[in-house]
Amino acid sequence: SLSLQIPQDFAREVQIKAEGKVLYFIYKEVQALKPEIPLGVVGRVEIYDKATNTKEDLEQLTDMYGLRIIGENSKYYFGVAHATDVQVPPDASELLKTRFRELEAEFDEVIKSVRIAEVR
pTM of the model: 0.91
Q: Count of domains in the chain?
A: 1
Cβ-based burial of 100 (10 A; exposed 0-12, middle 13-18, buried ≥19): buried
For 24, the domain range is: 2-116
> How do residues 62-83 score in pLDDT, each as one tens digit?
888 999 999 999 999 999 999 8
pLDDT of the residue at 2: 85
Which residues of the chain, if any, have pLDDT below 70? none
pLDDT of the residue at 1: 80
